[in-house]
Structure 1
Amino acid sequence: MVGVEGTTVGGYIIERQLGKGGMGTVYSARHPRLPRVDAVKILSEERSGDPHFRARFLREAEVAARLQHPNLVAVRDRGEQDGRLWIAMQYVEGVDVGVLITRGPAVLDVARAVHILTEAARGLDELHRAGLLHRDVKPANLLVAAQPGGPDRVLVTDFGIARAADDSTTLAGAGGIAATLAYAAPEQISGAAVDRRADVYALGATLYHMLAGTIPFPRNSPGSAMYAHLHEPPPRPSARNPRVPKAFDAVIARAMAKRPSDRYDSCGALAEAAAAALNGDRSPRRAWRGVLAAAAFALVLVLLGAGWIVSARETPSVAGPHLPVADSVDPAQWGAYAYMVEALPELLPAFPFGTGYQDLAVCYPLATTADTISLDASAPVGHLFCLGDRDPAESVEVYCNADRSPMGPNRSFAKVEGDQSWTRRSGSGHVFWGSDLYSGTGTFLDGKTWGVLEVYFNDPARNFCRVRVIGAGPTGTILRDRWWADAPL
């Protein structure tokens, strides 16, 4: 079987799985002749079987393989085996920016965010000069390797959906919106023509996330997030994080302008503006504060020890999805809903604007009326709504009885395609999958049939909760295969 430990792919000897996502699975692999370990991504069967995607992938890989830049993960080889496309890339030791964001401002301060932005911009501008667009710039696709005694080394990765800049096909075509919604430019969402300024927008959204600790438009549904990208003004990072100089508000406003012509013309121009906003706020008092912050950061590095191993992939970390450590959950930030996150610590983010399994994003509590409520407002049945990465989960919802009474299986959707009991090291339970027609919701779900998967638990530590996942297709089978199979439950 392709990808099993000890098998070979294109001559590479597979060692272990590093990460998995909608595009495929990434493994560490020994080079057949050189004393070197590379990262080999084996694309999913669905992707490999799409003739349009195959042609695009092979074309992009050839262009990317010719790129040599210190801020781009090197593409070293590509091919096909047993009907599956694969690509070999440089193996990078470190963490991605998504991981740094979850560690908070003590690790990712404003100065470090600007440095990461600047290095990433150099790589993206090189990609653009080569005639490619990235189209999925986000924190999880920026790798950071700390260098003792020097600045962070930053590399842009995951060109799995990159296309030639002169390709007139838009992301609203047969392939759908491939970019991660939280950072997608308005023209990507609407299906208009896309150029390098879509990457500028996404890089600006990524900068906002680094500065504010949350995605630019946290909403209760992908539909409302799309509306925000299309119509609502860019958010102000200083309003979310008082440590951010107000000059960054104007930087984000221009980078995330609705019209491409109103944005910075290049990622480098955005980085220059961010550096100016940072340097313009360097009063003597702030300079001393920066020295103290640097010392604190050095101490944090010592305490944290070695970072995770990451490489080019579409998952939040190539070592696996974002799996918050159980004791990293901050009950104070979750308020009345802390008991839900403590019951499912590897699925949900450690704090509300963090990231969880398969890039699960910002989670909010909902009332029975589907309106957002305060985290301090308790309810007999807690309901957390989280945005998925749309590949394959549109959204993930968790329901828990506050009195911890068992929540028995009742599969709350129309059509069941399958159900089974499950047993894992973590416990046991039951899982259903199928589809449901949504009507009268007033959201993007209205009038459409969506795939649904629900998970129930037997053990008392979790049997008062259920997990409901809505998928990007009309059946629940894709959720069973690509979400449930590796779900940390």
Structure 2
Amino acid sequence: MELTEGTLFAGYRIERRLGSGGMGTVYLARHPRLPRSDALKVLSGDSVRGGEFRRRFLREAEFAARLHHPNLITVHDRGETGEHLWIAMQYVDGIDVRALIARGPDDLDPPRAIHILTEAARGLDEIHAAGLVHRDVKPANILIAEQPGKPDRVLVTDFGIARPADESTDRTGAGGFAGTLAYTAPEVVLGEHIDQRADAYSLGCTLYQMLTGSVPFPHSNSAAVVHAHVHETPPRPSARNPSIPAEFDAVIAKAMAKRRENRYSSCGELAAAAAAALHGNRTGRAGSRRLGYRMAVAMLVAALAIAAAVLFDGNGFRWAAQPVAATSNPPVTGTIESAEWGELAYIAEAFATLLPGIPWAAGYQELSMCDAFSDSEESTNMLFCSGNSDPAWTVMIECNPDRTPILPSSPLTRIEGNLQWTRPTGSGNLFWGSEIVGAAGSKYGQRMGVLNVYFDDPERNFCWISVWGVVSAPEDLVRLWWNDAPL
């Protein structure tokens, strides 16, 4: 059914046709009661025959309507009129990524692509946190509201086939595959159980197309595309477009790994890796982060040798963490004596609520004895402060003196969790995991929990924080340090 301008449908007055896709047509339509226009998607009658599809669609729309996130299109209403199912959504005056790709690389360079990827990943991770899988991630379902002089506003849309992650995929129902074949993960075409990593695969395909202008497997027929998703090696974007940094090859290879356990565990993790590939190529900062970790490990080895008791039992030597003695001064934060911090005053001022007023006083959770390391080759400054071991042993803050933003790219050997955080004071990314301090694999090695914090706001985004502690699990650092940290 084609609706024309002025037609009434489900109480909405059709203003114009916006486009087709996903088994239906999308119209700009005037709300029957409120002074606004919505994007009204009407599914074709042929695609929705069968009571099971109708029940599932209406239920999935209810799931989607519960989601509220700045990177997700808001679902306002859904229903069925005659033989047609429909869903009313927030209207965005802009274009989709498919149209942006068609403009060419002059309009979609790698930095812009990574911004779009990062914002879309935040929306998708919100869907996954609600227990849903989108199932049709592709350029046409990522909307862009261009804002002159400001970063693009990015919103993920089309929840028409999203459904709970614990449901098996449906290859045989109306419409065939649950998704668009050019971006579909191997487990989807094979009819296997799917989870958020199927969306991460599709987002990887989308990133590849943003970088190269081509879908990953541009074969001429569906059977060849299916075979490629299941069997062919993920393509290298630098081979398709030599101007793309080679660092992106590894990102795409992991995002599009055939086995889901070999992929990024979340869309946010994929976005962080892509940002690191871009960041390392453009600024040379990635190496300094690894150097900072080596310095942190070296300092921790020394600290453990002094502050920890080395015990011997029947299995060899082991570390027994001893609490650091409390400082004589109660924690005082918020007022920084810049002269006492010298060239690192800009770091202390950025984290005045966390650090003590002077380096040897006490800050949050008795952070004290702050000392500096400066690396002229990488043009970074690192500040190390001792914690009270409840739970933090050491807190490291690394910053770019020129205030170049540090994009989220955790150097953790083993990432066990991550999230995008938002507080009244700002927003950013959080990673947690573990590292071996000392000789890895030896009886003297100590596994420590590590928490890495990144910031979005320009007052702090040129720094990142790494917190180290001897804890039962890295999540303990989130609970015992991060949850109350004045950041």
Shorter chain as denominator, the TM-score bin is 0.5 to 0.7
Q: Secondary structure, in 3 states, of the residue corresponding to 1:280?
A: helix
Show the 5 A alignment for 1:121-270. 121-172=121-172, 176-270=176-270
Q: Once the 2 structures are TM-superposed, how far is the Cα of residue 95 of structure 1 from its aligned partner?
A: 0.8
Q: Secondary structure, in 3 states, of the residue corresponding to 1:272?
A: helix
Alignment pair present for 1:87 and 2:103: no
Report if aligned partners of 2:169, 2:188 keep a CA contact under 8 Å in 1.
no
What does the per-residue CA deviation read over 1:223-282, in whole Å, with 9 as the maximum and x for residues that have no partner? Answer: 111111111111110111112111110000000000000000000000000001111011
What does the per-residue CA deviation read over 1:340-372, in whole Å, with 9 as the maximum and x for residues that have no partner? Answer: xxxxxxxxxxxxxxxxxxxxxxxxxxxxxxxxx
Greater CA drift, 3-12 or 56-65: 3-12
Change in 2 beyond 3 A, CA 1:184/1:169:
closer
Q: 1:112 and 1:249 mapped to 2: Cα distance?
A: 18
Q: 2:79 and 2:104 mapped to 1: Cα distance?
A: 40
Report if aligned partners of 2:121, 2:268 keep a CA contact under 8 Å in 1.
yes
Change in 2 beyond 3 A, CA 1:35/1:173:
closer
What does the per-residue CA deviation read over 1:462-486, in whole Å, with 9 as the maximum and x for residues that have no partner? Answer: xxxxxxxxxxxxxxxxxxxxxxxxx
Q: Secondary structure, in 3 states, of the residue corresponding to 1:238?
A: helix
Q: 1:260 and 1:171 mapped to 2: Cα distance?
A: 19
Q: 1:197 and 1:22 mapped to 2: Cα distance?
A: 21
Alignment pair present for 1:98 and 2:98: yes
Q: Which residue of structure 1 lines up, in the alignment, with residue 437 of structure 2?
A: none
Q: Once the 2 structures are TM-superposed, how far is the Cα of residue 283 of structure 1 from its aligned partner?
A: 4.2
Q: Once the 2 structures are TM-superposed, how far is the Cα of residue 148 of structure 1 from its aligned partner?
A: 2.1
Report if aligned partners of 1:47, 1:54 keep a CA contact under 8 Å in 2.
no
Q: 2:209 and 2:189 mapped to 1: Cα distance?
A: 19
Q: Secondary structure, in 3 states, of the residue corresponding to 2:244?
A: coil
Q: Secondary structure, in 3 states, of the residue corresponding to 1:143?
A: strand
Q: Once the 2 structures are TM-superposed, how far is the Cα of residue 55 of structure 1 from its aligned partner?
A: 1.0
Q: 2:147 and 2:69 mapped to 1: Cα distance?
A: 18
Show the 5 A alignment for 1:76-475. 76-172=76-172, 176-283=176-283
Structure 1 vs Structure 2 CA RMSD = 1.6
Q: 1:283 and 1:169 mapped to 2: Cα distance?
A: 42
Fraction of identical pairs, as percent: 66
Report if aligned partners of 2:169, 2:191 keep a CA contact under 8 Å in 1.
no
What does the per-residue CA deviation read over 1:83-110, in whole Å, with 9 as the maximum and x for residues that have no partner? Answer: 3211101111111111111111111001
Q: 1:34 and 1:74 mapped to 2: Cα distance?
A: 16
Q: Secondary structure, in 3 states, of the residue corresponding to 1:158?
A: coil
Q: Which residue of structure 2 lines up, in the alignment, with residue 325 of structure 1?
A: none
Q: Once the 2 structures are TM-superposed, how far is the Cα of residue 221 of structure 1 from its aligned partner?
A: 1.8
Q: Secondary structure, in 3 states, of the residue corresponding to 2:18?
A: strand
Report if aligned partners of 1:22, 1:44 keep a CA contact under 8 Å in 2.
no
Alignment pair present for 1:18 and 2:18: yes
Q: 2:35 and 2:95 mapped to 1: Cα distance?
A: 23
Q: Secondary structure, in 3 states, of the residue corresponding to 2:40?
A: strand
Q: Secondary structure, in 3 states, of the residue corresponding to 1:19?
A: strand
Q: 1:98 and 1:113 mapped to 2: Cα distance?
A: 12
Aligned AA (2:23): M
Q: Secondary structure, in 3 states, of the residue corresponding to 1:14?
A: strand
Q: Once the 2 structures are TM-superposed, how far is the Cα of residue 79 of structure 1 from its aligned partner?
A: 1.0
Aligned AA (1:146): E
Report if aligned partners of 1:95, 1:143 keep a CA contact under 8 Å in 2.
yes
What does the per-residue CA deviation read over 1:417-454, in whole Å, with 9 as the maximum and x for residues that have no partner? Answer: xxxxxxxxxxxxxxxxxxxxxxxxxxxxxxxxxxxxxx
Q: Secondary structure, in 3 states, of the residue corresponding to 1:281?
A: helix
Q: Which residue of structure 1 lines up, in the alignment, with residue 68 of structure 2?
A: 68
Q: 1:110 and 1:280 mapped to 2: Cα distance?
A: 13
Q: Once the 2 structures are TM-superposed, how far is the Cα of residue 136 of structure 1 from its aligned partner?
A: 0.9
Alignment pair present for 1:46 and 2:68: no
Aligned AA (2:216): P
Aligned AA (1:66): R
Q: Once the 2 structures are TM-superposed, how far is the Cα of residue 174 of structure 1 from its aligned partner?
A: 6.2
What does the per-residue CA deviation read over 1:67-94, in whole Å, with 9 as the maximum and x for residues that have no partner? Answer: 1111111110011112321110111111
Q: 2:195 and 2:172 mapped to 1: Cα distance?
A: 14
Q: 1:69 and 1:150 mapped to 2: Cα distance?
A: 19
What does the per-residue CA deviation read over 1:285-318, in whole Å, with 9 as the maximum and x for residues that have no partner? Answer: xxxxxxxxxxxxxxxxxxxxxxxxxxxxxxxxxx
Q: Once the 2 structures are TM-superposed, how far is the Cα of residue 22 of structure 1 from its aligned partner?
A: 5.3
Report if aligned partners of 2:47, 2:174 keep a CA contact under 8 Å in 1.
no
Aligned AA (2:136): D
Q: Once the 2 structures are TM-superposed, how far is the Cα of residue 124 of structure 1 from its aligned partner?
A: 0.5
Report if aligned partners of 1:172, 1:188 keep a CA contact under 8 Å in 2.
no
Q: Once the 2 structures are TM-superposed, how far is the Cα of residue 219 of structure 1 from its aligned partner?
A: 1.4
Q: Secondary structure, in 3 states, of the residue corresponding to 2:281?
A: coil
Q: Once the 2 structures are TM-superposed, how far is the Cα of residue 171 of structure 1 from its aligned partner?
A: 3.2
Which aligned segments of 4 or more residues in structure 1 are displaced greater than 6 angstroms?
Answer: none
Aligned AA (2:150): G
Report if aligned partners of 2:234, 2:256 keep a CA contact under 8 Å in 1.
yes
Q: Once the 2 structures are TM-superposed, how far is the Cα of residue 2 of structure 1 from its aligned partner?
A: 7.9
Q: Once the 2 structures are TM-superposed, how far is the Cα of residue 173 of structure 1 from its aligned partner?
A: 5.4
Report if aligned partners of 1:173, 1:191 keep a CA contact under 8 Å in 2.
no
Aligned AA (2:176): G
What does the per-residue CA deviation read over 1:390-412, in whole Å, with 9 as the maximum and x for residues that have no partner? Answer: xxxxxxxxxxxxxxxxxxxxxxx
Q: 1:201 and 1:228 mapped to 2: Cα distance?
A: 14
Q: Is there any run of 5+ residues in structure 2 with no aligned partner, and where?
A: 285-487
Q: 1:129 and 1:34 mapped to 2: Cα distance?
A: 31
What does the per-residue CA deviation read over 1:160-216, in whole Å, with 9 as the maximum and x for residues that have no partner? Answer: 111111112433556531311111101111111111110000000100011111111
Q: 1:159 and 1:138 mapped to 2: Cα distance?
A: 12
Report if aligned partners of 2:238, 2:245 keep a CA contact under 8 Å in 1.
yes
Q: TM-score, normalised by structure 1?
A: 0.56
Q: 1:153 and 1:120 mapped to 2: Cα distance?
A: 10
Q: Which residue of structure 2 lines up, in the alignment, with residue 34 of structure 1?
A: 34
Report if aligned partners of 1:2, 1:9 keep a CA contact under 8 Å in 2.
no
Q: 2:175 and 2:182 mapped to 1: Cα distance?
A: 18
Change in 2 beyond 3 A, CA 1:16/1:67:
same
Q: Secondary structure, in 3 states, of the residue corresponding to 1:25?
A: strand
Q: Secondary structure, in 3 states, of the residue corresponding to 2:215?
A: coil
Q: 2:210 and 2:153 mapped to 1: Cα distance?
A: 17
Aligned AA (1:115): H
Q: Which residue of structure 2 lines up, in the alignment, with residue 450 of structure 1?
A: none
Q: Secondary structure, in 3 states, of the residue corresponding to 1:76?
A: strand
Q: Is there any run of 5+ residues in structure 1 with no aligned partner, and where?
A: 285-489
